[in-house]
Amino acid sequence: MKILVKRIYEPAAEADGFRVLVDRLWPRGMSKARAALDLWLPDLGPSTGLRKWFNHDPARWKDFCVRYRAELRDRKRLLDVIRQRAQEGPVTLLYSARDEQWNQEVVLQRVVKQSTGRKRVGT
């Protein structure tokens, strides 16, 4: 399973595979054609309150990760969309933040990868 993370402002590439934007807000200055998206899942992005609180402050990173993971627990069906696509080929999670190290896609990528190895009972 290959799950990549990439800034949406970088050019689309064939190696990206299935391209998913996981931001609640549409990226500034980005046209739909240039985004070259396969899917936009705004509800997988952090809540507005969490996003504003975090504000890409590295001092809040650990707390942000805990809070965002808690939010993702209620979004299993959306996470399953990414997992299913990743079984078919590469998936690239796209984000618009300038900060490549302290952003939600890093957390989301880990959550998706960690949970794919587990058996899900009753699904």
From the CB of residue 74, how many other CB atoms can be counted at a distance below 10 Å? 9
pLDDT band per the 50, 70, 90 thresholds, residue 106: confident
Q: What is the predicted pLDDT for the residue at 17?
A: 97
Residue 29 above 50 pLDDT?
yes
Residue 11 above 90 pLDDT?
yes
- How far apart are alpha carbons 17 and 108 in whole angstroms? 17
Mean pLDDT comparison of 14-18, 94-98, 103-107, 113-117, highest-scoring range:
14-18
Q: Are 94 and 8 in contact (CB under 8 A)?
A: yes
- Three-state SS for 31? coil
Residue 123 above 70 pLDDT?
no
Q: What is the predicted pLDDT for the residue at 115?
A: 63
Give the model confidence (pLDDT) of 37-60 as tens digits: 999 999 999 999 999 999 889 999
pLDDT band per the 50, 70, 90 thresholds, residue 122: very low
- How far apart are alpha carbons 87 and 100 in whole angstroms? 25
Specify the pTM.
0.84
- How far apart are alpha carbons 30 and 91 in whole angstroms? 20
Q: What are phi and psi of 39, to 5 degrees?
A: -160, 145
